[in-house]
Amino acid sequence: MFEYEILAKEGRARTGIFHTPHGDLQTPVFAPVGTQATVKTLTPVHLEELGASLVLSNTYHLYLRPGDELVAAMGGLHNFMQWPKPMLTDSGGFQVFSLAQMRKIDDDGVTFKSHIDGSTHRFTPEKSIAIQENLGADIIMAFDECSDPNDRAYSQIAMDRTHRWAERSLDAKTRNDQALFGILQGGVDPELRAVSAAFIASLPFPGIAIGGLSVGESKDEMHAMLDVVTPLLPENKPRYLMGVGTPEDLINGVLRGIDIFDCVLPTRLARHHAAFSSEGRLNMMNASFARDPRPLDESCDCYTCRTFTRAYLRHLIMAKELLAGTLISIHNLRALIRLIEEIRSHISAGIFEKQAPVLLEKWSNNTQKSTKDD
Amino acid sequence: MFEYEILAKEGRARTGIFHTPHGDLQTPVFAPVGTQATVKTLTPVHLEELGASLVLSNTYHLYLRPGDELVAAMGGLHNFMQWPKPMLTDSGGFQVFSLAQMRKIDDDGVTFKSHIDGSTHRFTPEKSIAIQENLGADIIMAFDECSDPNDRAYSQIAMDRTHRWAERSLDAKTRNDQALFGILQGGVDPELRAVSAAFIASLPFPGIAIGGLSVGESKDEMHAMLDVVTPLLPENKPRYLMGVGTPEDLINGVLRGIDIFDCVLPTRLARHHAAFSSEGRLNMMNASFARDPRPLDESCDCYTCRTFTRAYLRHLIMAKELLAGTLISIHNLRALIRLIEEIRSHISAGIFEKQAPVLLEKWSNNTQKSTKDD
């Protein structure tokens, strides 16, 4: 269990299989985010149809509501939300630092107030692992501290704490049917990142996550940090770039040796009426789509593109019909999953480095809004 | 086309087939409401899976947004919303009287202001038919005036106007692939209802709708009006009771010779977290469901009941996740469609009158909220 089998390599890019109790994951893989035990507005049938294989859920949210003990009593997260394939939970650390109303950090853990009702709670590495064992995902995360990338002094403190918490997370773990991944930190400092990569790689984690990126630094800084850390990581463990990304981030990440991605972007954009397309990101409220008989993206094979016109999607949006969010979420998730499938096949064929500029060109208008957007 | 073939009769109840350009309708039938060219939060795949055969959409809403000309340019309503089976549009009359900000009625038609932007519009029988021809549903409705059931003098005026508008609707019709149904009115006055039934039955409509019920009168009054009118209607035309109903309304309506029903209740209740069940109507926010591992209704075959627990549905509601509305809508619509399927098979077997009290008992707690509700 939790072996990572590399099937093909090209430069730093790899394609492989990560074995989990709920099935094999083909990497590189993009995981839709189901923060509260649901990928917003979609059923598990939608997710299976659009080719999702790994779904992420958030420990902080589920601990607060409905509670990890309740999820455990209902047979665990897979059973609770009826997702039969692999799942991943984060450690709750990132949300404590970004969502909680108040937080007080010490070397032992973090005390915080719930963003829902202001009640006081405390997470430690041991508590985070206990919660994640109750939730029962296939891949769980060590408890970490994500620092402001531009504050080097604090980045060092947070990194050191993350390292001690990584060891405590390993010690706290009791289930052997969950893969506990370590998380490396270090802000945007190459030296700290190298230290963190070496330290986390030295511990017996079956996979390694790169935290603290896509949190406000530039794309160039993110790429530079990946260029520092992935060469220091063992080949035979999957690498997970947390909370990333856009279509371009996926391409650039795989080029630098990343195997696993997750991001709320596809579903969040969908709820704000924005769709990925090969023409660039489309704002589906735009009046130019009012009588447009084409699908969102003529090259897409998703249910939305096989079934509905842009005119209909725009009508749903203008009429404030929630089905719009469902249909655009299906498309946006399928777009990223199709991209990652294409990347996998390019690596297998040994043509990814040649095709990457073509893919980047095709998707370049999707990171920023398209010109049709205002 | 538009022949109504009766397959079995029992008392006044009938089961039969109404032939339309988009397929045969088995009656009695319950039509989910897709006001704005979408049954709220559901895809056409959901609707097919839950056994929907006829879908209603609203002329007033579609005329205002996105506009009937746009729907026509997109290939008509079936193509626009991708519903391949029979559709029905109402005349817009009821919404003008219930939703528009201002209305001024005269013998020729109604001038009103849009509830969306306050713009001024005018519906006449000719305009209503022209809009419905642009929309292209299989069953369309004559333009009518629905009066306050308790104002007899006004009910007579509105009924007389409805009769003249029925004739003008027939004259205005140009397409021969749409079945235009007449609508009878008359408030809660048995004499007016009898006059209206006889008059509308005398015109060459392939089906007859009963309007102006379920608008504030008592259940007894509604049943009394049905007892007056259905014996006066021709056997070989389907009868449509507009905007009704609850599970009990369906049973009581079929007993009195009704063939077609529509109602927003199942989807509206779902968005307010209420579910039909054989235990009575369930308020799924109730804390007693927090750890309830059972489906909404153990006897139900819908996707929601086959897949999810009450505990999960309650979690989605508490977490304000929109998927709750989708999943409960699937269940509530399936519950009514299963009920109508059961009624059809009872009529075929000649046991409906015997089974009706059993069905009424089973569903009696669903019209009102259950005691668990507060």
Got the DSSP string for A302-355?
SHHHHH--HHHHHHHHHTT-THHHHHHHHHHHHHHHHHHHHHHHHHHHT-HHHH
* Nearest residue, CB atoms, A318 vs list B65, B321, B326: B65
Q: CA of B80: which chain A residue's CA is closest?
A: A312
Q: Would you tell me how many other CB atoms lie within 10 Å of the CB of residue A348? A: 13
A116 interfaces chain B, CB cutoff of 8 Å: no
CB contacts, 8 Å: A58 with chain B: none
DSSP β-ladder status, B120-123 and B110-113:
antiparallel
Q: What is the mean pLDDT of residues A224-242?
A: 98
Q: Does B312 touch chain A (CB under 8 A)?
A: yes
At residue A84 the predicted structure's pLDDT band, cuts being 50, 70 and 90, is very high
User: What was the pLDDT predicted at B371?
Assistant: 38
Is the predicted pLDDT of residue B83 greater than 70, yes or no?
yes
Alpha-helical regions (H) of chain A: 44-49, 59-64, 68-73, 77-81, 93-98, 125-135, 152-172, 190-202, 219-229, 247-255, 265-271, 303-307, 310-318, 323-349, 352-363
Q: Out of B38, B293, B319, whose CB is closest to A323?
A: B38
**Helix, strand or coil for residue B25?**
strand
Q: Which of A229, A230, A239 is nearest to A260 (CA)?
A: A239
Contact B316 A80 (CB under 8 A): no
My answer on whether omega of the bond before B266 falls inside 30° of 0, hence cis, is no
Cβ A70–B307 below 8 Å, yes or no? Answer: no
**Which residues in chain B touch residue A74, judged by CB atoms under 8 angstroms apart?**
291, 293, 309, 311-312
CA–CA separation, A21 and A54 (whole Å):
12
- Which residues are A139's β-sheet partners? A88, A179
Looking at the predicted structure, is the pLDDT value of residue A329 above 80? yes
In whole angstroms, give the CA distance from residue A128 to residue A138. 15
pLDDT at B77: 98
pLDDT of residue B167: 98
A322 contact residues in B (CB cutoff 8 A): 40-41, 322, 325
What residues form DSSP beta bridges with B328? none
Would you state the pLDDT for residue B102?
Answer: 87
pLDDT of residue A147: 84
Q: Which residue of A has its CA nearest to B74?
A: A293
Of all residues in chain B, the one with the smallest CA distance to A320 is B36
B329 contact A CB<8A: no
Closest by CA position to B323, among listed A302, A75, A322, A73: A322
**Stretch B268-296: mean pLDDT, rounded?**
96
Say if residue A238 is preceded by a cis peptide, omega within 30 of 0: no
| Alpha-carbon gap, residue B356 to B197, rounded angstroms | 26
Of A82, A318, A322, Cβ closest to residue B308: A82
pLDDT digits (tens, 9 = 90+) for B291-346: 999 999 999 999 999 999 999 999 999 999 999 999 999 999 999 999 999 999 99
pLDDT in tens, B141-182: 999 998 888 899 999 999 999 999 999 999 999 999 999 999
**Nearest C-alpha neighbor of B29 from the set B38, B20, B37:** B20
Inspect the interface and report whether the beta carbons of A74 and B309 lie closer than 8 Å.
yes
> Which pLDDT does position B364 carry in this prediction?
84
Q: Percent of chain A scored above 70 by pLDDT?
A: 98
Q: Over 50: is that where the pLDDT of A247 sits?
A: yes
Contact residues, chain A, for B312 at CB < 8 Å: 37, 74, 80-82
**pTM for the structure as a whole:** 0.96
Within 218-257 of B, beta carbons closer than 8 Å to A belong to none
pLDDT mean across residues, chain B? 95
The predicted pLDDT at position B368 comes to: 56
Chain center to CA of A226: 16
Q: Is A301 a catalytic residue?
A: no
Neighbours of A342 (CB within 10 A): 15
Tokens of A361: 């060109």
Query: What does the pLDDT read at residue A371?
Result: 38
- What's the whole-number mean pLDDT along residues B26-34? 98
Is B66 in contact with A318 (Cβ distance < 8 A)? yes
pLDDT tens track for A257-299: 999 999 999 999 999 999 999 888 999 999 999 999 999 999 9
Check if the beta carbon of residue A89 is closer than 8 Å to that of residue A34. Answer: no
Supply the pLDDT for residue A66. Answer: 98
Q: Which residues of B are less than 8 Å from A40 in CB distance?
A: 321-323
Q: Decide the pairing of beta strands B87-89 and B55-57.
A: parallel
pLDDT grade for B187, boundaries at 50, 70 and 90: very high
E strand or H helix at B314: helix B310-318
Residues A142 and A183 sit within 8 Å (Cβ to Cβ): yes
Q: Is B358 on the interface with A (CB under 8 A)?
A: no
Q: Is A117 exposed, middle or buried (0-12, 13-18, 19+ CB in 10 A)?
A: exposed
Coil vs helix vs strand at A20: strand
AA letter at B371: T
* A311 with B38: Cβ contact below 8 A: no
Q: Which of A249, A259, A262, A297 is catalytic?
A: A262
C-alpha–C-alpha distance, residues A144 and A137, integer Å: 18
- The pLDDT assigned to A367 comes to 64
Q: Which of B64, B134, B321 to mutate to test the interface with A (most CBs of A within 10 A)?
A: B321
Residues A74, B312: C-beta atoms closer than 8 Å: yes
Q: How confident is the model at residue B374 (pLDDT cuts 50, 70, 90)?
A: very low
pLDDT the model gives residue A374: 32
- Residue to substitute from A38, A48, A78, interface B, most B β-carbons within 10 A: A38
Measure B358 CA to nearest chain A CA, in Å: 35
Residue A202 in contact with residue A139, Cβ under 8 Å?
no
Residue A149's pLDDT is 84
CA pair distance B2, B19, nearest whole angstrom: 5
Q: What whole-number distance in Å separates Cα of residue A282 and Cα of residue A10?
A: 33
**Are B327 and A43 within 8 A, CB to CB?**
yes
pLDDT, residue A369, reads 47
DSSP for B110-148, please give it: EEEE-TTT--EEEE-HHHHHHHHHHHT-SEEE----PPP
* Residue A81 near residue B319 (C-beta atoms within 8 A): no
Contacting residues for A232 by C-beta, under 8 A, at least 6 apart = A194, A197, A198, A201
Does residue B245 carry a pLDDT above 90?
no
- Identify the three-state secondary structure at position A359: helix
CB contact under 8 A, A322 and B41: yes
* Chain A contact probe: residue of B74, B285, B306, B309 with most A CBs at under 10 A: B74
pLDDT tens sequence across A188-227? 999 999 999 999 999 999 999 999 999 989 999 999 999 9
Q: How far apart are CA B262 and CA B332, in angstroms?
A: 13
Q: Is residue B241 pLDDT above 90, yes or no?
A: yes
Q: Rg of chain A over CA atoms, in angstroms?
A: 20
